[in-house]
Structure 1
Amino acid sequence: MARHFDAIIIGAGQAGIPLAGRLSAAGQKVALIERHLVGGTCVNTGCTPTKTLVASAEAIHTARRGADYGFTVGGPVMVDFPAVMARKDAVVAKSQQGLAGWIGGMENCTLIEGHARFETAQSVRVDDELLQAGRIFINAGGRAAVPELPGVHDVPFLTNTSILQLKELPRHLAIVGGSYIGLEFGQIFRRLGSEVTIIEKGSRLIAREDEDVSEEVKGILEGEGIGFRLDAECISLHSRPDGGVTVGVDCRSGEREVHASHVLLAVGRRPNTDDLGLDRAGVATDERGFIAVDDRLETSVPGIFALGDCNGRGAFTHTSYNDFEIVAANLLDGDDRRVSDRHECYALYVDPPLGRVGMTEAAVRKSGRKALIGTRPMSRVSRATEKGVSQGFIKILVDAETGRFLGASILGVGGDEVVHSILNLIYADAPYTVMARSVPIHPNVSELLPTIVQGLTPLE
């Protein structure tokens, strides 16, 4: 005998929980299914734990630089790695408890622990129980991709999840992958005291960013003692007698092997869609396993929606939450919100951080449109020099014909916050002249934005 609900939500992540809240508040009977931990990637293995570690690493780094700020601590800074990890665990636990309390307070919502698999387009089975509903929402998230490197199954390796469970600080952490996850963990563990080598198959880091951004980030991290092996065309893994891992690299220069105590694989993520029984429901996926959705996040099957990382329409907490907002507004508020209405924005949480919105300079050039550009090094931003962190730069791109913002890269102090000044004007469809005439607070990084757009020049 099946249990009947108005809605079934598979996955208690950053889209699933608020959707359960809206639907249950509207009087619908909701089943919220979670096979592991409430909160999804963000709370358990993503934003919350990693940004907590970033904060600890930044505090440690600042303490080591005490002399630059006019103080000493009486000796070398000692890192208590178990205490750092315990702080991270406490912050995660607090978030988990808050979400559990939220779910528990939903009058019409039933939290079901277990692995959901489709039986039909309107039913799923969780262990031995069959559940049915007129609408089903998939919020299954994603996990670390494990590349088929030679030797990968013969050595102990870490992912972004298992590295958060380490009990001892790695002596030498080798990281395969020079993009967002790899760079953030690289700086964290270098500041905690590990030797770190980042190995990247491409010729530069974070290849989706402009080359000047890649080079500046590389310079920042090299300045902290992180080693890099780029152009690593042939990467292989080999166990060592001491329990460590040797990473074989075929680079254009340097040693052909990196000998490490630990290796982290940070080469992307894959959706958790391969064990949901999607074929039984007729739900279509692409060649990478992402669930195909339309502009309103409905799948190939009417009444089934996919939200968050599993739909390939964004890989961030903020896009997952916006997926919830789109679905809830359309189904409950009579609105007509669409995925195509949002503009790409994200951050890289190295220190100092990178805030990104819209198109890169390379993308603007490729488009062939006439554009204006404005730049300023952070070394000429008073707030940055006052804080003693003057690496990075600001770059803003504007359409020469409409005056609308095309994109921006803000690498430096507060870059992850300052970028929202431009994001908000993009959503307001306002020209750069609005920013040019604004009067921001001094002293702040944002106060330089009007000055930069006042001096825009043609992109040659």
Structure 2
Amino acid sequence: MSKLEQVDTLILGSGQGGKLLAWHLGNAGQRVAVVERQWVGGSCPAVACLPSKNEIWSARVAHLAHHAADFGTITGAVKTDLAKVRQRKRDMIARENAAHLAFYESSGAQLIMGRGQFTAPKTIEVTLNDGGTRTLSGNQVVINVGSHAAIPDIPGLADAQPLTHIEALELDQLPEHLLVLGGGYIGIEMAQALRRFGSRVTIIDHNPHLMHREDADIAAEVQNILRGEGIELLLDAQTTKVAGQSGKDVRVTVRAGGSERTVEGTHLLVATGRIPNTAGIGLEKLGVELDERGYIRVNERLQTSAPDVWAIGECAGSPHFTHVSVDDFRIVRDNMAGGQRSTQDRLVPYCMFTDPPLAHVGLNEREAERQKVPVRVGKLPMAHVLRGEATDETLGFMKVLVGNDDRIVGFTMLGAESGEVMAAMQTAMLAGLPYPKLRDAVIAHLTYAEGLGRLLGNVPARAG
């Protein structure tokens, strides 16, 4: 074992929450070491959030170019150079990488590139990427190791070497026919993007509708939008086996409606969920307990079962969003300083970056019914939002849930700029604002947020 190095705070994983904590503590004068096996800054800026939205935006540009004549602009033949799309994404990643290294330099936090494994309480041995080993011990430890794409145990699937979102974002040639296994947010985002670049796309999902956790009306609208763009959907279809190899010739056999059929494609993308990166890193040596799904057990302050050991982000079972990891950082930062900050009762929004995008915060109708929360529901088609009339972005709708006390308890929007509009509704929810206050607010014309007034005007009056 190499010579033991002592630091104040030792962080395994440089994802969003971990890196922010490292920079904060480093700037405060602590000796901080961050161990990262692959991606500076974690997966978000390298292979996940930013790269995927970068390519999704390229796909939107392609879609607009194909439909330019609808807006009076006449173009010639339109085609996608996927290698150039990839290079635009890589250039962005390079800028992000440089920015992260600059933050490490200015904060004084050490970034150690290598594979870390705990060998004793608060002690980690790092196999360095450029050779050799280092052994470090911290007065306090933070685990921020994230998650990876799940590959279901389906006969032939692993042998087919399917794409995950990571490999899909590195394609430089357009798939002739992309098969997408999984009807969640990642699968849908990538399916629409590749379809807009010019691929034939089929989504296969074992649930009766896409995004099975969403309300049925939201899922149905998304399905109509995808089908309208020529994406084939095979729903309520159990995948029984896979043959061939992704990138060449792949065949997926599904059972649906009492019979089997085989779907042939050139590429296969698996987007069926995530698995925490907690196996094989020596957490048992650290004294950290896992739950039955492999996530680190933490309390509401993000403390693990081991003293002075914290966990942040997806590996701690937090909702799998970068913005939640940022909030985890704030919780751990404050609690390390003696605070009593908690994960309980936080209002977590999310967006799916399709076109139009889906944004949600608070309860949906299914959750309200399950929790026995009485709500009144207001809906507004995006075709009734005047901004959409001007831009021809009329697909989707808004939906709001209001409690008996007139407070807003949930909001969903499938429509243009939905994430930006949702932030206004989230602010009202955080403030406990009675919905008539927002309904009657003077909102600038001609904006998408202007539709909130009409939406809230559709909330039924309280009984009695």
Residue 20 in 1 paired to residue 30 in 2? no
Moved more, 202-211 or 109-118: 109-118
SS in 2 for 1:72: coil
Measure, in 1, the Cα distance between the counterparts of 2:408 and 2:247: 54
* Aligned ranges 1:127-138 → 2 under 5 Å: 127=127, 128-138=133-143
Q: Does the CA-based 8 Å contact 2:356-2:416 persist in structure 1?
A: yes
What is the match of residue 311 of structure 1?
A: 316
Structure 1 spans left out of the alignment, 5+ residues: none
Distance across 2 between alignment mates of 1:100 and 1:280: 31
Q: Quick one: structure 1 residues 175 and 32, their matched pair in 2 at CA, closer, same or farther if it must change by over 3 Å?
A: same
Per-residue deviation at 1:388?
A: 1.2
Equivalent of residue 201 in structure 1, options 206, 217, 223: 206
In the TM superposition, residue 154 of structure 1 has moved relative to its aligned partner by 2.3
Q: CA 1:129–1:217 in structure 2 vs 1: closer, same or farther (change >3 Å)?
A: same
Provide Cα deviations, 1:20-57, integer angstroms capped at 9, x if missing partner: 11111221111111111112121111111000011100
Residue matched to 2:130: none
Q: Larger deviation: 173-182 or 96-105?
A: 96-105
Distance 1:384 1:198, change over 3 A: same
1:333-382 deviations in Å (ceiling 9; x for gaps)? x4322111411210111100001001111111233332111110001111
Asked if residue 217 in structure 1 is aligned to residue 222 in structure 2, the reply is yes
1:92 has 2:106 as partner: no
Q: Which residue of 1 aligns with 2:190?
A: 185
Partners of 1:211 and 1:242 lie apart in 2 by: 34
Greater alpha carbon shift after TM alignment, 252-261 vs 171-180: 252-261
Q: Does the CA contact (< 8 Å) of 1:187 and 1:350 recur in 2? A: yes
Corresponding position of 2:346: 342
Distance 1:37 1:50 in 2: 15
Identify the residue that residue 77 of structure 2 maps to in structure 1.
Answer: 76
Within-5 A mapping of 1:104-183: 104-107=105-108, 109-127=109-127, 128-183=133-188
Could you say which residue in structure 1 is the equivalent of 2:455?
A: 452
1:288 counterpart = 2:293: yes
Look up the match of 2:373: 369
By how many angstroms is 1:255 displaced? 7.4
Aligned to 2:382: 378
State the Cα deviation string for residues 280-333 of structure 1 (Å, max 9, x = none): 11101111111111111110112000001111111000001110011112223x
Residue 356 of structure 1: which of 350, 357, 360 is its match?
A: 360
Give the match's secondary structure for 1:71: coil
Match of 2:62 in 1: 60
Does structure 2 conserve the Cα–Cα contact (< 8 Å) formed by 1:10 and 1:33? yes
In structure 2, which of residues 289, 295, 302 is the aligned counterpart of residue 297 of structure 1? 302
For residues 60 and 234 of structure 1, do their structure 2 counterparts lie closer, same or farther at Cα, with a shift above 3 Å needed? closer
Shift of 1:227: 0.4
Question: How far 1:253 moved relative to its partner?
Answer: 8.2
DSSP 3-state at the match of 2:165:
coil
CA shift, 1:137, in A, is 0.3
Note the alpha carbon deviations across 1:33-88, whole angstroms, 9 max, x for none.
Answer: 11111121211111110000111000110111112111110x22121111111111
Residue pair 1:121, 1:304 contacting (<8 A) in 2 also? no
Hey, what does 2:398 align to over in structure 1? 394
Alignment TM-score, normalising by the size of structure 2? 0.95
Structure 2: state its 5+ residue gaps. 128-132
Alpha-carbon distance in structure 1 between the residues aligned to 2:84 and 2:189: 20
Aligned length: 456
- Distance across 2 between alignment mates of 1:190 and 1:308: 32
1:437 aligns with 2:440: yes
Question: Cα 1:330–1:289, aligned 2, differ >3 Å: closer, same or farther?
Answer: same
- Using the TM superposition, give the Cα deviation of residue 242 of structure 1 relative to its aligned residue in structure 2, in angstroms: 9.2
| 8 A Cα contact 1:118 1:125, kept in partner | yes
Q: Distance in 1 between matches of 2:247 and 2:40?
A: 38
How far is 1:243 from its partner? 2.8
Deviations 1:411-457 (A, max 9, x none): 00111111111111222222212212311111111112122223311
The separation in 2 between residues aligned to 1:90 and 1:414, in whole angstroms, is 26
Q: For residue 72 of structure 2, what is the amino acid of its counterpart?
A: G
Amino acid at match of 1:55: W
Q: CA deviation at 1:240?
A: 6.6
> What per-residue deviation string (whole Å, max 9, x for no partner) do you get for residues 231-260 of structure 1?
112332111799310011111289711110
Offset of residue 458 of structure 1: 6.2
Contact 1:373/1:458 (<8 A) preserved: no
What percentage of residue pairs aligned between the two structures are identical? Answer: 37
- Could you say what the CA RMSD is over the residues aligned between the two structures, in angstroms? 1.7
SS of the aligned residue for 2:300 comes to coil
